């Protein structure tokens, strides 16, 4: 079966050839007439002339025209046609080499590729009879490479199709998922101010407690000193004991000093309790007010939590959900 690929895009070939020619050749004035003739070559016309020579079995005349067309438009079809010409001339080595080159280039359709592989197999049998083992091994390697390239291309296309399908399925599933919950509201500056105030209030209450305990201990010592003072005073008055009178005077001075200390501790504890309680209350109010704002922002959710300050008879209260 004598098959010659005549390329089904003569007009497209003209356009491609025009695009492949460098712009400088079209606009630059050549220095030699040979360059001017080369720039004016029409690959479409050359290809038609080569086809006419091939049909007329003038294969030697067709080969240089096909080669020139390939230089202007490197298409694997042209290499295949050159291989057909060499095969008709009996130059099997050159025919196999051009079939191999056509298989290694991209753009050769599967039908033409299958025909080139078939012709290479026939040439292999012929070369085998002639004892040219190196050419047989080369042809086998090229056929195997062409088959691997076809399998690799098919695998790549299948992988791309599977990836596209997976992405499409992922997009469909994503549209079916419920919207994600809104992020939790961030605590504002009021909360941190309230925490600081409450911490200071707790420290003040603790200091007030220390002063209170000191005042209580002073009261116990005062009772003991007062009892000793009364005993010594009675002894000095009834017995006229001057030593007892001096001791009673010392106890009286200690009582006065202790009374001043007790009074200072009581005042300090009162101030600390009052300031600490105010700071604690103010800090808690700040935290709750900020929390009530967050609760309002999350009120759309069923699990929203928050607290708010409300006015109640006789004072204020806290209302919230957890």
Q: What is the tens place of the pLDDT at every residue in 236-277?
A: 888 878 888 888 888 888 889 989 999 999 999 899 989 989
Average pLDDT across the chain, whole number: 76
The DSSP letter of residue 189 is H
Q: How many CB atoms lie within 10 A of CB 290?
A: 21
The DSSP letter of residue 181 is P
* Between residues 6 and 189, the one the model is more confident about: 189
Q: What is the tens place of the pLDDT at every residue in 184-193?
A: 656 778 888 9
| Whole-angstrom distance, CA of residue 230 vs CA of residue 237 | 11
Q: How many CB atoms lie within 10 A of CB 104?
A: 14
Q: What is the tens place of the pLDDT at every residue in 150-173?
A: 555 655 666 677 778 777 777 655
CATH architecture of 10-159: Alpha Horseshoe (1.25)
How confident is the model over 120-145, as a mean pLDDT? 68
Residue 248 token pair: 């009673």
Phi, psi for 318 (deg, rounded to 5): -120, 130
Phi, psi for 84 (deg, rounded to 5): -65, -40
Task: Domain ranges for the chain, please list them.
Answer: 10-159, 189-298
Q: What is the tens place of the pLDDT at every residue in 23-54?
A: 222 222 233 333 445 545 899 999 999 999 99
| Whole-angstrom distance, CA of residue 224 vs CA of residue 258 | 11
Percentage of the chain lying above the pLDDT 90 cut: 32
Reading phi first (left if > 0) and then psi (alpha if -120 to 50, else beta), residue 140 is in alpha
Given this model, what pLDDT does residue 41 score? 80
Q: Is the pLDDT of residue 131 over 60?
A: yes
For every residue of 75-120, DSSP letters joined together read: -HHHHHHHHHHHHHHT-HHHHHHHHHHHHHSTT--HHHHHHHHHHH
């Amino acid at each position: 079966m004598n098959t010659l690929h005549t390329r089904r895009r003569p007009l497209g070939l003209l356009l491609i050839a025009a695009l492949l020619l460098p712009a400088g050749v079209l606009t630059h004035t050549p220095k030699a007439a040979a360059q001017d003739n080369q720039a004016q070559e029409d690959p479409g016309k050359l290809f038609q002339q080569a086809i006419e020579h091939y049909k007329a079995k003038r294969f030697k005349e067709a080969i240089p025209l096909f080669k020139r067309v390939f230089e202007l438009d490197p298409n694997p079809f042209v290499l295949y046609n050159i291989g057909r010409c060499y095969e008709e001339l009996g130059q099997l080595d050159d025919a196999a080499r051009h079939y191999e080159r056509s298989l290694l280039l991209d753009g050769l359709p599967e039908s033409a590729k299958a025909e080139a592989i078939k012709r290479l197999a026939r040439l292999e049998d012929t070369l085998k009879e002639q004892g040219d083992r190196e050419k047989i091994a080369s042809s086998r390697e090229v056929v195997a490479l062409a088959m691997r390239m076809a399998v690799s291309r098919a695998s790549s296309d299948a992988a791309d199709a599977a990836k596209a399908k997976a992405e499409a399925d992922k997009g469909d599933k994503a549209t079916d998922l419920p919207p994600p919950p809104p992020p939790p509201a961030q605590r504002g500056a009021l909360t941190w101010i309230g925490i600081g105030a409450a911490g200071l209030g707790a420290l003040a209450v603790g200091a007030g407690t220390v002063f209170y305990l000191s005042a209580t201990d002073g009261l116990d010592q005062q009772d003991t000193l007062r009892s000793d003072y009364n005993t010594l005073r009675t002894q000095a008055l009834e017995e006229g004991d001057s030593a007892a009178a001096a001791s009673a005077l010392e106890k009286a001075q200690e009582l006065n000093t202790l009374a001043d200390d007790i009074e200072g501790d009581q005042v300090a504890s009162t101030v600390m309790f009052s300031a600490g309680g105010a700071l604690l209350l103010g800090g808690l109010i700040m935290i709750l007010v900020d929390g009530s704002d967050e609760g309002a922002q999350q009120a759309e959710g069923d699990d929203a939590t928050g607290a708010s300050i409300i006015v109640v008879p006789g004072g204020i209260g806290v209302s919230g959900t957890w």
